[in-house]
Amino acid sequence: MSSKFEMSMMGELSFFLGLQFKQSSDGIFISQSKYLQDMLKKFSFSECKPAKTPMSTSVSLSADPSGVDVNASFYRGMIGSLLYLTASRPDIVFATRMCARFQAMPKESHLNAVKRIFRYLKHTPNMGLWYPCESSFELVGFTDSDFAGCALDRKSTFGGCQLLGNRLISWSSKKQSSVACSTAEAEYVAAGRCCAQVLWIQNQLMDYGFNLSKTPICCDNTSAILISQNPV
């Protein structure tokens, strides 16, 4: 690359745009610990009570029109910080995306849900992504979906991730664009989205000389699996 571009060697990569890189002979660890600590300090969560999960399983967020209004700018600032943190924290993607749906008119119930995420981050400040050197190079996709989980429009939420061996390389959590009529349909749509992402990754790997034509996609819904196996 030096023969084609003007370059300067700045040493081993350790910090870039809030991402921290720790390289060793065993692999690379990516985290945002410093950014997280600054974020907790900015929003006055440095001394908060830690929580073991980012969201309670019994919580179902809704528009809450009768709820108490909160500062929208402050709420959006918290959401924006959390969204940037998802670059190395896939464990908070679902909860953050759920709370991000209410940025237009946030209520106290929504703010409490966001505070729960911050309390969870206080409990797990040094969590990140580990990319080991010694691992297989097999692409695997995982997909899942709830059914009509959004209380506003009854749309389902898709979740999926892709791994190269033991290395997590892609993840997402997003509300589906259509309303599913059954759990099987919601799971099948989610599997379709995962398949599209797998095909994109396969095409990217072909540019580097890796032809991974057969990639398993793991789904936990028997009906969706049977539908996908039907060539018709």
Domain boundaries, given as residue ranges, for the chain: 15-123, 135-228
Query: What pLDDT does residue 60 have?
Result: 80
Bridge partners, residue 168, by sequence = 163
Query: What pLDDT does residue 23 have?
Result: 92
**pLDDT tens profile 12-52:** 888 888 899 999 999 999 999 999 999 999 999 988 899 99
* Tokens coding 228: 């996908």
Q: What is the pTM for the complete model shown?
A: 0.84
Which range is least confidently modeled, 30-44, 53-67, 168-182?
A: 53-67
* Tokens coding 131: 């990319």
Q: How confident is the model at residue 128 (pLDDT cuts 50, 70, 90)?
A: very high
Q: Which CATH class is domain 135-228?
A: alpha beta
Query: What pLDDT does residue 100 have?
Result: 92
The pLDDT of residue 151 is above 80? no
CA distances from residue 167 to 30, 129, 208 in whole angstroms, order as listed: 12, 8, 17
Q: Which residues neighbour 21 within 8 Å (Cβ) at sequence distance 6 or greater?
A: 13, 14, 15, 28, 29, 30
